[in-house]
A and B are shown apart, each in its own frame.
Chain A
């Protein structure tokens, strides 16, 4: 009896995942998407527990309980600014699960050579390398290790030989019964390659990497589907693999970068060279009350948020500023660069958290034409995404990257803690322009200061 119901449960679970991704297209249906995705996952888990070959429940239930007990607080207690790290960490666990299942299947010794073994090898390779790569990405985003690209001479040769060695051993396992040392060596090489893959990548490129790792985790799950002959795994894995890949391609396009460029860290080396030539130059600065009076007399204001806003948790104060200015009849819009923050859409999430209407958040292409007619461009914790060098200086490592044309506004105000360069490690020409005022301070406190001044003046 149960054998007849199980395929139906799996089929419904697949439909759930597909609808989840589909409904993610629109903010109005997105939450419905999450719910149908949760239902899909629940069906998948229940459907699997009911399968006749699953007989030993005790440890499974304990495992489900422990996983939920760690996962739920993690999701609720991490601040919203830490979403990129959390996704990276969550990836590491998911990938490790795939890798361990691959290992268990291998040591069971029932996988035939040829295609099934090939799927198992690919599953384990992607699983292990995604695990270590995600951990490094997490450490970089959490700033447990330097966010700058870590490079050394001959790095590409070392990483590529590790990958080649892993593939050769993997090929051996596919073609013939391999000796006992082969699989542990294969694991070590895969994990090593995962570390080497992310080490040379700078923080500015981390969103692309997370999207790509997402794709790897999906393909690993699909491979597991081939090993276990499970179509639900194949569908969910393929869906996910494609989603991650296309997302990282969208991101690369937004940054005007090629995939190989991101993966081989050329960006990092150039950036390091450029930092050497930074000279001390004068800038103009202003206080909160001066900034408040400039904003008060403006008719149009464009706010450009960046990672600094996320770090300072300034989004709620920005909402107060938005309310204060809107009440005065000033037109306030937000310009969202595709890679502002550490993940695509990072800024949207934070501003939405602060209840700023999302139709006021405009993308780069929609808003760039408005800057010349804008009285004030208020840059809050953004740096590289407004650096005019990207348009003008052919030798700059960020040359060609599409930027927000904040420098074309009549007045530019930049809230920033210090003059230190941004994530790409290069100086920003915008700060030295005649129409630029630097507002030095913590983004949250400074915006609070402006809001206070605005409230006092009326």
Chain B
């Protein structure tokens, strides 16, 4: 089996998993979820590191890779921090608290 054919199976299964998991998320959490999934999409940072860290990379490749690392890292950090900041607020308040 060719590697990309295997990859397509992985893609299909992960996509179904994504559908099933998100279908059940309460609307209460839609904004944090959107923000979390924004952070996960920054997984592109893996590709950015691979491209810019290669041994015999051209200047163009290094430059593009460097900008990609900056952009993807920004996305990772901003995505997770904002999600966390939002979720810190979701605490059930005790009714007897003054």
Name the residue on A nearest B55 (C-beta). Answer: A55
A182 in the interface, Cβ–Cβ < 8 Å? no
A97 in the interface, Cβ–Cβ < 8 Å? yes
Q: Known interface pairs A45-B49, A232-B46. Does A240 touch B28 (Cβ–Cβ under 8 Å)?
A: no
Give bound CA distance, A388 to B50, whole Å: 55
A59 in the interface, Cβ–Cβ < 8 Å? yes
- Say whether A94 contacts B42, CB under 8 Å: yes
Instruction: Give the residues from 85 to 110 in chain A that come closer than 8 angstroms, CB to CB, to chain B.
Output: 86-87, 89-91, 93-94, 96-98, 100-101, 103-105, 107-108
Give bound CA distance, A421 to B69, whole Å: 43
Give bound CA distance, A376 to B10, whole Å: 53
Contact of B24 among A25, A45, A211, A357 (CB under 8 A): A25
Give bound CA distance, A190 to B65, whole Å: 20
Give, as a whole number of angstroms, the nearest-CB distance from A363 to chain B. Answer: 6
Name the residue on B nearest A350 (C-beta). Answer: B89
- Say whether B34 contacts A63, CB under 8 Å: no
- Say whether A242 contacts B19, CB under 8 Å: yes
- Say whether A21 contacts B68, CB under 8 Å: no
- Say whether A105 contacts B78, CB under 8 Å: no
- Say whether A343 contacts B34, CB under 8 Å: yes
**Which residue among B35, B47, B95 has the maximum number of chain A CB atoms within 10 Å of its CB?**
B47
A22 in the interface, Cβ–Cβ < 8 Å? yes
- Say whether A55 contacts B53, CB under 8 Å: yes
Interface SS of chain A: helix, strand, loop or mixed? helix
Q: Interface size of B by Cβ–Cβ distance < 8 Å?
A: 84
- Say whether A90 contacts B38, CB under 8 Å: yes
Give bound CA distance, A189 to B77, whole Å: 30
How would residues 238 to 258 of chain A score, 1 for a CB under 8 Å from any chain B CB and 0 otherwise? 111111111100100000000
- Say whether A100 contacts B78, CB under 8 Å: no
Contact of A357 among B29, B47, B62, B92 (CB under 8 A): B92
- Say whether A238 contacts B54, CB under 8 Å: no
How would residues 209 to 234 of chain A score, 1 for a CB under 8 Å from any chain B CB and 0 otherwise? 01100100110111011101111111
- Say whether B61 contacts A107, CB under 8 Å: yes
How would residues 7 to 18 of chain B score, 1 for a CB under 8 Å from any chain A CB and 0 otherwise? 100111111111
Give bound CA distance, A245 to B20, whole Å: 12
A348 in the interface, Cβ–Cβ < 8 Å? yes
Name the residue on A nearest B45 (C-beta). Answer: A45
Chain B interface residues (CB < 8 Å from chain A): 3-4, 7, 10-19, 21-55, 57-58, 60-62, 64-93, 95
25 residue pairs of the A-B complex, CB under 8 angstroms, read A20-B40, A27-B26, A27-B29, A38-B80, A41-B45, A44-B43, A55-B53, A63-B73, A75-B78, A76-B85, A87-B82, A90-B79, A94-B44, A97-B68, A100-B64, A104-B51, A115-B4, A218-B41, A229-B4, A231-B10, A246-B19, A247-B22, A343-B31, A345-B30, A345-B33
Q: What 9 pairs between A and B have smallest CB-CB spacing?
A: A67-B73, A242-B18, A63-B69, A71-B77, A54-B53, A344-B30, A75-B81, A94-B75, A238-B14
> 15 more A-B contacts (CB under 8 A) besides A30-B32, A72-B77, A87-B34?
A21-B18, A21-B22, A25-B25, A31-B84, A41-B42, A78-B82, A93-B78, A97-B44, A101-B48, A101-B68, A108-B58, A214-B38, A222-B11, A233-B43, A240-B41
